[in-house]
Amino acid sequence: MRTLRRLLPLGLLLIAPLAGAQQNLIHEERSQYREVLVYEDGGERCMCFTRQCRIGRQSCINLADPKRFALNYTRMALGGLLFASPQPPQRVLILGLGGGTIPGALRQVLPAAQIDVAEIDPAVTRVARTYFGFREDPRLKVYEMDGRVYVKRAIREGKKYDAVLLDAFDQEYIPEHLLTREFLEEVKSLLAPGGVVVGNTFSSSKLYDHESTTYAAVFGTFFNLKGANRVIVARPDGLASAAQLRERAQRYEPSLRSFGVDTQALLAMFTTNSDWDPQARVLTDQYSPANLLNH
């Protein structure tokens, strides 16, 4: 495996930078891993890991309505997790905190669930609390450690999760040690019967084919939701049928509406069509040159 130290940071990422020309920087600090910056622009507050959010935004909130999702990928990820799960998940693991938008939403949609978040950077956790309204409680806990380290420890402890959301990014892309077949096999072993894995990735990159064949090698056929980002939804026990997806979307529609989620629009994004090269090399701990392939 390549060295991990350079690529450990965790967070959330969207491709498009902030559109406004006059971004107001309201917070900046340099952590052990990167710069953590908070900008306000056009009625939104965003966490970024690069100046002027030139590569992307890790997390955003709508200042006038903080509960309403500001980034489309959050709708895709939340819908993928809820619609693909046969029953309301009782234990959820999220790798990557960002501003805490998704764990906070899940806490409201699934009030009885235990939600664990692995976030390596204490600065990200501080900023999420101070500027994005993120709050922990006995059922929503943050563990400040690398996501793969958390997964390995959870396996040793015999933990099982009904849903795992992979949302870990550094300032460029997903850390390479969180892209490999071995890592996905570890995540798969954490799943309880019927459990689902949801992965937030890019909808267009040189890694697209490799990521696709890697997920397919571990999980087989998966749902492929695409917008500015791509969200992969995999379930080892078999994917939900169209009728099951519709039933679950209807079940969650009242609670998701307040977050600005159009469940019917989300349903239309669920597809198993493969649009990648099936011969692309699978990413492994010995072959995962994300820093080269993604440029």
Active site residues: 167
Kindly state the DSSP code that residue 14 receives in the 8-state scheme: B
Confirm if 133 and 104 have CB atoms less than 8 A apart.
yes
The span from the CA of 54 to the CA of 185, in Å, is 33
CA–CA separation, 263 and 269 (whole Å): 10
Q: Do the bridges between strand 91-95 and strand 114-118 make them parallel or antiparallel, or are there none, so unpaired? A: parallel
Q: Give the Cα separation of 186 and 282 in Å (integer).
A: 16
Question: Please, what is the end-to-end C-alpha distance for the chain in angstroms?
Answer: 20
- The DSSP symbol for 7 reads G
Q: SS3 of 24, please?
A: strand
Give all strands of the β-sheet with 35-41 in edge-to-edge order. Answer: 24-30, 35-41, 44-48, 59-62
Q: Please, are residues 155 and 68 in contact by the beta-carbon 8 Å criterion? A: no
